[in-house]
């Protein structure tokens, strides 16, 4: 006797699951398939024939695409690593004994993450203004610089300014996640480490980080996704100028001039880059767990 494809309980669950599946298909799966089809088509609506890899060949020969990929990799590497380390350090400081009003400090730091992207980008753009900006005024009053820094009008400084703002905006998320994880760690492990004479750094490396592996995985994966797909912050502060164009801005610029096939090909490449980062990191974590 053949086993039924779905059990009675599973059949009863279909009406409850079906709306979510339909919404997911409508908002995610269909647009994704449509963009992929457009990237292999000869025109913007994908109805004039198959173009093969023509759009991708043109994309790889476009110097703007090479610069966008390079900028995206640099931007992602700096923001993800520094945001994670800074957020972890903030979590350790807030979780330390003797810190009063821990909830207040967490709330104040978390404000940087919940502020809408355009709002914080506009505020930081004003702070980084070369003439009359608060950042240059503060640094000059502290005698750390002798002349105003061209934060948003120089390629080197523009990237630095964007990275600073992204770190400021995303590190509080890591702090909150890590703080929640630290509160669940058993104290007896640290007491045993104290009896063995372990230093603070040794306890962090051999107890805290291994115990927070799952939380760290989520934080790093989210930071990767946010960094690769960030648009509002970069567009508001530099509009992609001063060699700060990333893949997200390149897609927007191509779409703005109705070059839909190139924009679709760029979007597919951005998806591939995101998936490569996610798959490599996931396989690394799973490999460590098996080991």
- Has residue 168 been placed in a domain? yes
CATH number, domain with residue 110: 1.10.3720.10
The answer to which of 14-23, 26-35, 151-160, 273-282 has the lowest mean pLDDT is 273-282
- Has residue 30 been placed in a domain? no
Q: What is the 3-state secondary structure (H, E, C) of 197-237?
A: CCCHHHHHHHHHHHHCHHHHHHHHHHHHHHHHHCCHHHHHH
The backbone torsions φ and ψ at residue 91, rounded to the nearest 5 degrees and listed phi first, read -65, -40
pLDDT on residue 88: 93
Residue pointed to by tokens 């991708």: 56
Over residues 232-251, the pLDDT tens digits come to 999 999 988 888 999 899 88
- Has residue 27 been placed in a domain? no
- Has residue 153 been placed in a domain? yes
- Has residue 236 been placed in a domain? yes
- Has residue 163 been placed in a domain? yes
- The domain in which residue 185 lies consists of 64-290
CA–CA dist 131, 129 (Å, integer): 6
Query: Number of structural domains, the chain?
Result: 1
pTM for the predicted model, two decimal places: 0.82
CA–CA dist 114, 176 (Å, integer): 12
- Has residue 230 been placed in a domain? yes
- Has residue 41 been placed in a domain? no
pLDDT on residue 46: 47
């Amino acid at each position: 006797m053949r086993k039924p494809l779905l059990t009675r309980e599973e059949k009863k669950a279909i009406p409850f699951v079906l709306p979510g599946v339909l919404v997911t298909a409508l908002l995610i799966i269909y647009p994704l398939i449509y963009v992929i089809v457009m990237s292999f088509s000869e025109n913007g609506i994908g109805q004039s024939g198959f173009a093969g890899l023509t759009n991708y060949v043109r994309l790889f020969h476009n110097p703007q695409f090479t610069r966008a990929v390079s900028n995206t990799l640099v931007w992602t590497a700096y923001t993800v690593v520094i945001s994670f380390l800074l957020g972890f350090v903030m979590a350790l400081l807030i979780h330390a004994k003797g810190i009063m009003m821990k909830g207040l400090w967490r709330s104040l730091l978390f404000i940087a993450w919940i502020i809408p992207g355009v709002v914080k980008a506009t505020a930081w753009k004003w702070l980084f203004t070369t003439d009359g900006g608060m950042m240059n005024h503060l640094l000059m009053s502290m005698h750390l610089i002798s002349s105003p820094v061209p934060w948003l009008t120089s390629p080197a400084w523009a990237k630095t300014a964007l990275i600073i703002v992204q770190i400021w905006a995303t590190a509080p998320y890591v702090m909150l996640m890590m703080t929640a994880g630290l509160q669940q760690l058993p104290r007896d492990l640290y007491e045993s480490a104290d009896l063995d004479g372990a230093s603070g750094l040794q306890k962090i490396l051999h107890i805290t980080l291994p115990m927070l592996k799952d939380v760290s995985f989520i934080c790093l994966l989210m930071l990767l996704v946010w960094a690769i797909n960030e648009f509002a912050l970069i567009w508001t502060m530099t509009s992609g100028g001063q060699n700060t164009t990333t893949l997200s801005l390149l897609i927007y610029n191509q779409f703005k001039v109705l070059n839909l096939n190139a924009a679709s090909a760029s979007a597919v490449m951005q998806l591939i880059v995101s998936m490569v980062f996610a798959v490599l990191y996931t396989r690394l974590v799973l490999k460590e767990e098996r080991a």
